[in-house]
C-alpha cells in the first residue's frame, strides 16, 4: 500500500530562499520538496509538502493526517514557541512526528529555546539547514518501515 508523509511548514516559510538567507539559506521550499520526494521514491511513499501562514489551517492539516498520513515532518516555525493548539493537534495524531528547524534555535534568541512541539516529537532535527528535511524524511522512512 502506498503511504504518505506530510511535510508541514508554518508561518513565513513561504519566503524560504528570500527571507534572512544568512540564517535560512537560499533553497526554496520547492527545492526541499523535490529532494524529499526523490528520497521517498514516489512509488511506495509519496511526500506532500504544504506551507501556511494560518494556524487554524495547520491544525486542520494535522487532523487530516490522522487519516491520510503515515507520518508528519513539521517545521512549525514561530508556532513552535507559542502554540499549545499545534501541540494538542499533534497529540491527537497517532503516527510518528519529526520536528525540524532549519536554523540552530539554541544559538539564537532565548525565546526560540523553548518548543511546545518537542514534548510530542519522536525526533528533532535542528540546525542542519534545509538538509534537515531530508534527514527527517530519512528517519521517517525507517519509522514507518519503508527504509530503502
- Check if 101 is active-site: yes
Q: Is 85 in the site for ligand DQA (CB under 6 A)?
A: no
Q: Is 131 in the site for ligand DQA (CB under 6 A)?
A: no
Radius of gyration of the chain (CA): 14
Q: Is 117 in the site for ligand DQA (CB under 6 A)?
A: no
- Residues 54-73, mask of contacts with ligand DQA (x by CB under 6 A): --------------------
Of 34, 78, 124, 144, the one binding ligand DQA (CB under 6 A) is 78
Q: Is 136 in the site for ligand DQA (CB under 6 A)?
A: no
**Burial category of 114 from C-beta neighbours within 10 Å (exposed 0-12, middle 13-18, buried 19 and up):** exposed
Residue 24 Cβ vs ligand DQA, minimum distance, rounded to whole Å: 7
Q: Determine which one of 54, 67, 101, 113 is catalytic.
A: 101
User: Torsion angle, CA of 139/60/63/5, rounded to 10 degrees?
Assistant: -30
Of 3, 51, 52, 80, the one binding ligand DQA (CB under 6 A) is 80
- Check if 116 is active-site: no
Contacts of 55 (CB under 8 A, 6+ apart): 79, 83, 85, 86
Do residues 5 and 135 make contact, with C-beta atoms less than 8 angstroms apart?
no
Which phi and psi (to 5°) does residue 115 adopt? -125, 125
Q: Is 12 in the site for ligand DQA (CB under 6 A)?
A: yes
Of 48, 85, 105, 124, the one binding ligand DQA (CB under 6 A) is 105
What beta strand segments (E) does 10-63 contain? 45-51
Tell me which residues touch ligand DQA (CB under 6 A).
12, 75, 77-78, 80, 101-103, 105, 112
Amino acid at each position: 500500500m502506498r503511504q504518505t508523509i506530510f511535510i508541514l511548514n508554518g508561518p513565513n516559510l513561504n519566503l524560504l530562499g528570500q527571507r534572512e538567507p544568512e540564517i535560512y539559506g537560499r533553497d526554496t521550499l520547492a527545492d526541499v520538496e523535490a529532494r524529499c520526494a526523490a528520497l521517498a521514491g514516489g512509488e511506495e511513499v509519496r511526500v506532500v509538502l504544504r506551507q501556511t501562514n494560518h494556524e487554524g489551517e495547520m491544525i486542520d492539516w494535522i487532523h487530516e493526517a490522522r487519516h491520510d498520513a503515515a507520518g508528519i515532518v513539521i517545521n512549525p516555525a514561530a508556532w513552535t514557541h507559542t502554540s499549545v493548539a499545534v501541540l494538542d493537534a499533534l497529540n491527537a495524531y497517532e503516527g510518528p512526528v519529526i520536528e525540524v528547524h532549519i536554523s540552530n534555535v539554541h544559538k539564537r534568541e532565548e525565546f526560540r529555546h523553548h518548543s511546545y512541539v518537542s514534548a510530542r516529537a519522536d525526533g528533532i532535527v535542528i540546525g542542519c539547514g534545509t538538509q534537515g528535511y531530508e534527514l527527517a524524511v530519512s528517519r521517517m522512512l525507517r519509522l514507518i518501515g519503508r527504509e530503502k
